[in-house]
Structure 1
Amino acid sequence: MNDTSVLATCLARLSWPPERLAREINRRCGNGTISSKAPYNWLKGACPRRRLPHIVATILSDKLGEPIAVEALWPEHFPSAAPQCRRIPAQRRRAAPGRRPAGQEPLTAAVDWLVADEALPPPSRLRGDEIPAVAIEVLAARIQQLRRLDDSGSSGLVLEWALQDLQWAEKLAAQYSYDAPTGRQLHRIIAELGQLTAWLTADQGMDELSSSRFLAALGAARAAGDRPLAAYIISCMSYRAGWAGRTDEALRLIRIARKGSAHEDMGIGQALLATREARAHAGLGDEAACQRALDDAAELSRTGGPSAEPPWAYWLTPAVMVADAGRAWLELGRPDRAEGHLTRGIELLRGGQPRNLLLHSASLAEARLACRELDGAAEAATDALSLAENVSSQRAHARLTALRRRFVRYDAAVARDIVQRADDLLAVDPARAAG
């Protein structure tokens, strides 16, 4: 056994035997993925197959609270990206003493981005074959294609596809040569692919993996010198924290994103940040602050910015803003105000973004139930359940399961029909979910 390897050192810091690492991999990837003794071979120098090296690096990074690169774990199999690492200031490379709580990692990275005195030097690499310009063009086009494919509800397929493209882009950055302009483009692509895969893993309920991907995406956006994209990534981390009930963290993150991009030309992206701040205030029950943020979002939606929208903002429309405002009012316990916004947003969204339609239809059903409009709630729930037949999303599954529990409380034929449809679709065990 090589007790001096990075892998051995990481396991020692965690006080993990190799079998514990095997259990973590099988928990994340499915029982039977590897044998309990496989990590012993890795400690002797063997390299796992396919994507397992990256999964191991992600698990160790999550558990140790600091980035562990796959190149460090298996240097003979993965070329080092040392030219990029040299540009990171020494104080940022230093590991914090002890383990940092996972919830603080996004905040630390966001604050570092906000208070940075100067931009990082443009990324470039002198060694290796030169990256063909067409490779950058292909990757950029693929990102937009993958985003639009995700709009159709095929998130599982898109996640696998995007992960492969991300791995390819990272390989280009680590092994090929490129000048500063190409380096900025390449790292912007890595950031966008990282944001997309982080968002999709969050949607599928893989919280720790999503966190590490968002942090990596933010680092790539910083390397690319793209502050609007970095602010967008931080806003996504804020939104994800809100899903998980970490409302204080959600508010701090979105305030950092807005402050750090206040003078950037983001077009409607600035309105998105304001809407997400409204959602964070709603989660904390602060109606006045929520209303101020919604007013900001409405004004920013009207004025926009002087230049073209960034590529990642293609999905932002007035429909999205209106429906999100409805969700904010629902979270504040104001279903009467939420219903009008949600109804209008859903009408504007018809024909596109089925996952958003599903989630907002479920919210409309919740709002109508809170207003004791059972028939209207059942109509909205029927729409949500119909959309769910073609949408793969753990987040949507959880929302529909919670909605089902609300309908169980009503002794009416229309409510029983919704419960039965939900049971058929979600494979719910009525004996276990009767509450």
Structure 2
Amino acid sequence: MSSAIGANIRRAREQRGWSQARLAREVCRAAQVQGDPVGRQEVSRWETGKRTPREWLPFIAAAFGVPVESLKTPEEPAGPPLPPLADFLPDDDPLAPLSAREGRRIGIGQVDDLQKRVHGLRLADDVLAGGDLIRPALRELRSAVKLYREGTHTDEVGRQLLRQIGELAQIAGWIASDAGQHEEAERIYRLGISAARQAEDHTLAGNLAGSLAYQMSNTGREAEGLTLAQAAFRDSEAEAPPKARALYLDRVAWAHTKAGGTENGQLAMRALGEAGQALSQDSEGTESPAYLYWVDAGELRVMESRVYTELHRPLRAVPLLREVLSEYDATHTREMALYLSWLAVALADANEPEEAAAVAERVIVMSADVASERIADRVRVILRRLQDYLDVPEVAALLADRESA
């Protein structure tokens, strides 16, 4: 029964595009309790069947707005994980060409124009959040798919157009995920995987699949995230340049970390080491796709520090985060706030609550006008972590300010 309840809770949560942290918050609100007695980890235990939410079940149902019995009724069991990337293609693929196309002729010029718009959207994402960019991103993606399906073009132009649709889907999916629209992001990523595979661009397909795996790992689908991250690396490894392999291994490391357990922690550290080795093979003579411009040694240090934080190894995490933050572009507000949020948690783990509270306050101030669900969730993570230090004046003052805000 507990596995059926867990599957139903997860299904209802994902249908609403909620994170596990969001569900925990809604349950506490429905129960009219304070202090966050239910957190993301507890929701994860419910969904995996490790714990049955007996007394919480009526409040879970209330949060979803459904009858309690609907959460108890078993549904057909889900099939086993499907590791090949082909299994992640969308149903009723909207990229299937029309049987008789009579639209305008599409040439390489239109492909070049689309490429510039995709790159412009990617650069905009460096300084703006998902909530600000989701509408233009979806508009661009719809227009690009329509251009491909309704226009006529040579096979080569078609491949180039599919490649740009794949790149556009990657950044649009990332934007949708940042805006908290996880179901929409998943549909976009699957569309992009289809486009990249039809264009026979396995490196791009791996990037899209890795992006989807990253979202899964961060939204309570850790087992699926790990399966897909490994598939993304495996299916594209032979053709991927060193910078791409480093990125895919970074995502494998994160997926192992989120999956939890000693063995996964060890595998995460191994993947981080392999990512560093892959990046060291990159050189000026190695051609990497333009969309990987941001992958460098600094980004690998960020992931390494996050893994250390998640594994509760603050003595390794804090120095790395300080180093990265000292070099980071302050105009990239969202990423700066995210990295600072990891530093705040690592400082709390290091028993430095005063400094953790100071960093947390900085995150809160920076994120006030940033429309990013990622940052909002990280703020909640920090505040829950600081609950262990309520007797510290700086922490008590910060939490009191948040309650009165």
TMscore range, shorter length:
0.7 to 0.9
Closer, same or farther in 2 for the Cα pair 1:123/1:182, shift >3 Å?
A: farther
Distance 1:123 1:226 in 2: 22
- Aligned position for 1:412: 392
Shift of 1:126: 6.0
Give the secondary structure class of the aligned counterpart of 2:370: coil
More displaced 10-residue stretch of structure 1: 175-184 or 208-217: 208-217
Q: Is the 8 A contact 2:321 2:343 kept in 1?
A: yes
Which has the greater radius of gyration?
1
Alpha carbons of 1:167 and 1:113: their partners in 2 closer, same or farther (altered >3 Å)?
Answer: closer
Select 2:224's aligned residue among 232, 246, 249.
249
Residues 421 and 392 of structure 1: CA distance in aligned 2, closer, same or farther (over 3 Å): farther
Deviates more, 1:202-211 or 1:304-313: 304-313
Taking the aligned partners of 1:102 and 1:360, their CA distance within structure 2 comes to: 37
Secondary structure of the corresponding residue to residue 378 of structure 1: helix
Contact 1:407 1:418 in 2 (8 A): no
Matched, 1:290 2:290: no
Give the distance between the partners of 2:377 and 2:221, measured in 1 at CA. 17
Which structure's relative contact order is higher, taking Cα pairs within 8 Å and 6+ residues apart?
A: 2
Note closer, same or farther for the CA distance 1:248–1:138 as it changes in structure 2 (3 Å cut): same
C-alpha separation between the residues in 2 aligned to 1:101 and 1:392? Answer: 34
Of 351-360 and 187-196, the range deviating more from structure 2: 351-360
- Could you list the per-position Cα deviations for residues 131-152 of structure 1 after superposition, in whole angstroms to 9, with x for gaps in the alignment? 1433211210111111111111
Q: Which amino acid aligns with 2:391?
A: D
The answer (yes or no) to whether the contact 2:202–2:236 under 8 Å persists in 1 is yes
Letter in 2 for 1:303: Q
Give runs of aligned pairs for residues 280-359 of structure 1, distance below 5 A: 280-283=255-258, 284-285=260-261, 286-304=264-282, 306-359=285-338
Query: Partner of 1:260 in structure 2?
Result: 235
Gaps in structure 1 of 5+ consecutive residues: 1-26, 29-97, 115-120, 428-435
Residues 102 and 317 (structure 1 numbering): CA distance in 2 closer, same or farther, change over 3 Å? farther
The farther-off stretch of 162-171 and 346-355 is 346-355
Q: CA RMSD in A?
A: 2.9
| TM-score of the pair, normalised by structure 2 | 0.73
Say if 1:415 and 1:352 are closer, same or farther in 2 by CA, change over 3 A.
Answer: same
Amino acid in the other structure paired with 2:129: S
Determine if contact 1:123/1:223 at 8 Å carries over to the other structure: no
* Matched residue, 2:339: 360
Q: State the Cα distance separating 1:218 from its structure 2 match.
A: 0.5
Unaligned runs of 5+ in 2: 1-15, 18-74, 90-95
1:377 aligns with 2:352: no
Q: How many residues align?
A: 323
Identity of aligned residues (%): 28
Mapping of residues 4-403 of structure 1, within 5 Å: 101=78, 107=82, 110-112=85-87, 127-283=102-258, 284-285=260-261, 286-304=264-282, 306-403=285-382
Superposed displacement of residue 122, structure 1: 11
Note the alpha carbon deviations across 1:6-56, whole angstroms, 9 max, x for none. Answer: xxxxxxxxxxxxxxxxxxxxx89xxxxxxxxxxxxxxxxxxxxxxxxxxxx
Residue 289 to residue 200, structure 1, CA distance change in 2 (3 Å): same
Paired residues of 2:88 and 2:190 also in contact (CA < 8 A): no
Question: Paired residue for 1:58?
Answer: none
AA aligned to 2:396 is: R
Cα distance in 1, alignment partners of residues 78 and 187 from structure 2: 13
TM-score using structure 1 length: 0.68
Q: Displacement of 1:375 after TM fit?
A: 2.4
Gap change, CA 1:124 and 1:135, over 3 Å in 2 = farther
